[in-house]
């Protein structure tokens, strides 16, 4: 008779848990969020009259890369953990809604007092992504002309967007539909006499 070697089958590699029940996943999201907030704070502070959009984008990218490079430097199973920019740093001015990340060869007007600036950016740690966006109005500099006549209206839009964000965040919960969040945003917009931007996909 042929002798058959018996043995215990090799254990299959345990599938990695990639949701928030894994504390390591939570930590990666948190670290990515900290980096995004640091970059965003720096960008907001530099949105002053005369600032160049390309310089702002490059600054934000440099902050994300520098901060991310300090984390998770050890290889896991011989593989380096990828980290850094997850979404290009974008600075969109006035009638440009979002996602404007210019080439270095583009010649654009520098920021001026009263410009409405939208910043969006993202960072990831091992593929776990944090993104943020912020809208601001460029403050006047020492040599800036008087504020535009529509400054009050621009302020209303900014406040409406902020309150819509709070209401939308509250509406995002288990069992809610996308339409519930959209309806909540529309109610805030109507209260301020402004209109939400439609057909914008992030």
pLDDT at res. 144: 73
What are the structural domain ranges in the chain? 23-143, 149-196
- d(C-alpha 101, C-alpha 120), whole Å: 10
Between 10 and 79, the more confident residue is: 79
Which residues does residue 107 pair with via DSSP β-bridges, in sequence order? none
**pTM listed for this prediction:** 0.82
What are the residue ranges of helices labelled H in the chain? 23-46, 53-69, 151-171, 178-192
3-state per-residue secondary structure call for 56-82: HHHHHHHHHHHHHHCCCCCCECCECCC
Give the full edge-to-edge strand order of the sheet including 128-137. 83-93, 116-125, 128-137
pLDDT at res. 199: 66
Could you read off the pLDDT of 31-54 as tens digits, one per residue? 999 999 999 999 999 999 999 999
* Closest residue by Cα to residue 68 from 130, 10, 155: 130
Q: Is 80 exposed, middle or buried (0-12, 13-18, 19+ CB in 10 A)?
A: exposed
Architecture of domain 23-143: Alpha-Beta Complex (3.90)
Q: Provide the pLDDT confidence category of residue 202 given band limits of 50, 70 and 90.
A: very low
CB crowding 142-161: b at 16 or more within 10 Å, else e: eeeeeeeeeeeebeebeebb
Could you read off the pLDDT of 83-108 as tens digits, one per residue? 999 999 999 999 898 899 998 888 88
């Amino acid at each position: 008779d042929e002798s058959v070697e018996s043995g215990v089958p090799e254990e299959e590699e345990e599938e990695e848990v990639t949701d928030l029940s894994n504390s390591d996943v939570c930590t990666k999201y948190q670290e990515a969020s900290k980096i995004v907030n640091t970059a965003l704070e720096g960008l907001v502070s530099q949105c002053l009259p005369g600032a160049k959009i390309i310089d702002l984008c490059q600054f934000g990218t440099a902050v994300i890369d520098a901060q991310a490079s300090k984390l998770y430097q050890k290889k896991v199973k011989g593989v380096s953990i990828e980290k850094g920019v997850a979404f290009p740093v974008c600075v969109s001015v006035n009638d440009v809604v979002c996602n404007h990340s210019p080439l270095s060869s583009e010649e654009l007007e520098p920021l001026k007092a009263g410009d409405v600036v939208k910043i969006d950016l993202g960072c990831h740690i091992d593929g776990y992504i944090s993104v943020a966006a912020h809208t601001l109005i460029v403050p006047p500099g020492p040599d800036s002309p008087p504020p535009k006549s529509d400054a009050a209206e621009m302020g209303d839009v900014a406040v409406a967007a902020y309150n819509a964000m709070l209401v939308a965040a509250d509406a995002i919960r288990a069992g809610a539909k996308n339409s519930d969040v959209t309806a909540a945003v529309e109610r805030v917009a109507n209260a301020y006499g402004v209109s939400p931007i439609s057909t914008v996909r992030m």
